[in-house]
A and B are shown apart, each in its own frame.
Chain A
Amino acid sequence: MADKDLEVVAVAVTKNTHKNRDLAQLLTAASCALIGGISPSVNAADSWDVDSAFLLYSESDGRVSAAEPVISATKNYDEETKLTFKIAADTLTGASPNGATPSDHVQTFTSPSGKGSYDAAAGEQPLDDTFKDTRIALSTNWSAPIDRDWAYGVGGYLSKEHDYQSLGVNGSLSRYLNQKNTTLTLGLNLSSDTVNPEGGVPTGLVQVPLNNSDSEFTQRTDSDNKSLVDAVFGITQIINRKTIMQFNYSLSTSSGYLTDPYKIISVIDDNAGTNFGGNFQSGSRDLYLYEKRPDSRLKQSIYWQTKYQFDNDDILDVSYRYMFDDWGINSHTIDAKYRIHFDNQYLEPQLRWYTQSKADFYHRYLNSSDYTNADFASADYRLGDLDTYTLGLKYGYKFADETEFYTRFSVYHQESSGDKGYGKLTSQELYPGLDAAMLIVGYKF
């Protein structure tokens, strides 16, 4: 009993998250606790914390750029009981790779709606410049203790963009052990998503029609669904006064329409002759097929994170994730941050490295001799062999009233690799890299 009260007081005295704390109330609470735990409601914190940020994201060569404002407000009832509301909006514009290979001639592609077309110059990576979207996402979360040893959380979210909706609920249960030095957490998330692509849901591995008067267009359904179930089991362990560690195992299953309706794949001519390695012709035009992915995916990951504070108050935050799935993808992610404190300011260099192996059905292109045998195929580079690097620097300033301003600038680099093709295709750049810059400006009050 006395231990518990001391613990609450220790937390209340040192916790920096809550503002407008009434010192007198805190002292009263502390003395109550010392006298012998007369009052269990020792917390003076009953306040709103607001966390707001704005992200600007921009890719090189006029590809995607995005702007995303986010604001979240948390009502703290006491140290462990809180209610959070969050709203985020993002707008995307620019051009996105459609999956087709570059070619030695100008390529013309049907737009996703089937109402128009766009071109890619000879030797250039085909980009769909009709890409544009706005998304609004709302979420809320409630977490509270059940008793000394147990705590729970529940939440829900809703997001909407013109061709995609998602609705989800989640819950978690935590068990404290060993004087709260060990926390076991089980989390579950269920989500039901609806995809209603521009122009309807295309038929996978069928030739992209010239326009929307084609029978492939007229037989389309407007929308399709996908559902997701995620489970996370985690152990958080306090190692010592300066070190905390977490180990998670997660399982995620998705089923339903997992294909990207806007991605296509080129069929390349592998017949010996003058067009060897060029675009295969069907109906006297270049043959492109809509991509098709399996209708289920099971992902598993293990995640380890450690945070350590040095004697000079600098903080090292390192994490590693290994992910593998039944599509044949596996990936490694290492993320490291080092926060250097200067009185009420800090600088935080950040480094992230990510590498993934390709999905079994990823192909940069299909061959004319056997494309009809494919069950699934995607040329989406995000399912191919990929390495990415993020280098960032964050700066933060804490004001006397405990509000905080921060900004972060980071650069993101992607490198794809894979099969280089044959014949005419070998002179094309099949795996262009990508560079992006991100700027985040945030204010917590």
Chain B
Amino acid sequence: MQKIISVIGLLAVPIILSGCSDVGVKPWERDILAQQEMNLISDPIENSLNDHIYFSKEASSGGQGFGGGGCGCN
């Protein structure tokens, strides 16, 4: 039984490793991700205006960055 588990374990190693090596890109494959539209926050000003409104109208804030604040609106 233990043997079967270790065989399965050994078989799983290359699968896990190859799975990991599929994640990510080579330095020369960054063309798309380098576009400004692909930044996680591509429009910081629009984001900050939204955060300000939601901060003053709802009980939650932050998550993506720091939790708004600097405002007596909530």
Q: Which residues of A contact B (CB under 8 A)?
A: 3-4, 6-7, 10-11, 13-17, 51-53, 55, 57, 68, 70, 72, 88, 90, 92, 133, 135, 137, 157, 159, 161, 163-164, 166, 168, 170, 178-182, 187, 189, 191, 193, 195, 228, 230, 232, 236-242, 244, 246, 248, 250, 252, 260, 299, 301-303, 305, 307, 309, 315, 317, 319, 321, 323, 329, 331, 333, 339, 354, 356, 359, 382-383, 386, 388, 394, 406, 408, 412, 414, 438, 440, 442
Q: Are A386 and B66 in contact (CB under 8 A)?
A: no
Q: Are B65 and A14 in contact (CB under 8 A)?
A: no
Q: Which residues of B contact A (CB under 8 A)?
A: 22-38, 40, 42-46, 48-49, 52-54, 57-60, 62-67, 69-74
Q: Are B60 and A241 in contact (CB under 8 A)?
A: no
* Whole-angstrom CA separation of A32 from B3 in the bound complex: 56
Q: For B66, give its contact among A11, A88, A187, A193 (CB under 8 Å).
A: A187
Q: Are B59 and A382 in contact (CB under 8 A)?
A: yes
Q: Are A53 and B70 in contact (CB under 8 A)?
A: no
Q: Are A10 and B31 in contact (CB under 8 A)?
A: yes
List the B residue with the shortest CB-CB distance to A72.
Answer: B45
Q: Are B46 and A16 in contact (CB under 8 A)?
A: no
- Chain A residues with CB under 8 A of B45: 51-53, 70, 72, 442
Q: How many A-B residue pairs have CB under 8 A?
A: 186
Q: For B25, give its contact among A92, A238, A299 (CB under 8 Å).
A: A238
Known: A321-B60, A382-B57. A15 touches B69 (CB 8 A): no
Q: Are A191 and B59 in contact (CB under 8 A)?
A: no
Shortest A418–chain B CB gap in Å is 14
List the B residue with the shortest CB-CB distance to A161.
Answer: B72
Q: Are B66 and A329 in contact (CB under 8 A)?
A: no
Known: A237-B23, A301-B63, A331-B58. A168 touches B40 (CB 8 A): no
- Chain A residues with CB under 8 A of B48: 70, 88
Q: Are B60 and A331 in contact (CB under 8 A)?
A: yes
List the B residue with the shortest CB-CB distance to A402.
Answer: B36
* Whole-angstrom CA separation of A195 from B72 in the bound complex: 7
Shortest A325–chain B CB gap in Å is 8
Q: Are A182 and B52 in contact (CB under 8 A)?
A: no
- Chain A residues with CB under 8 A of B37: 309, 315, 339
Q: For A236, give its contact among B31, B40, B43, B63 (CB under 8 Å).
A: B40
* Whole-angstrom CA separation of A272 from B11 in the bound complex: 75
Q: For A168, give its contact among B26, B28, B70, B72 (CB under 8 Å).
A: B70
Known: A53-B46, A333-B60. A230 touches B67 (CB 8 A): yes
List the B residue with the shortest CB-CB distance to A354.
Answer: B58
Q: For B24, give its contact among A181, A193, A323, A386 (CB under 8 Å).
A: A181
- Chain B residues with CB under 8 A of A317: 42
Q: Are A359 and B62 in contact (CB under 8 A)?
A: no
Q: For A7, give its contact among B27, B36, B40, B73 (CB under 8 Å).
A: B27
Known: A10-B34, A14-B34. A232 touches B58 (CB 8 A): no
Q: For A354, give its contact among B23, B27, B54 (CB under 8 Å).
A: B54
- Chain B residues with CB under 8 A of A133: 72
Q: Are A182 and B24 in contact (CB under 8 A)?
A: yes
* Whole-angstrom CA separation of A57 from B37 in the bound complex: 25
Q: Are B24 and A238 in contact (CB under 8 A)?
A: yes
- Chain A residues with CB under 8 A of B67: 228, 230, 250, 252, 299
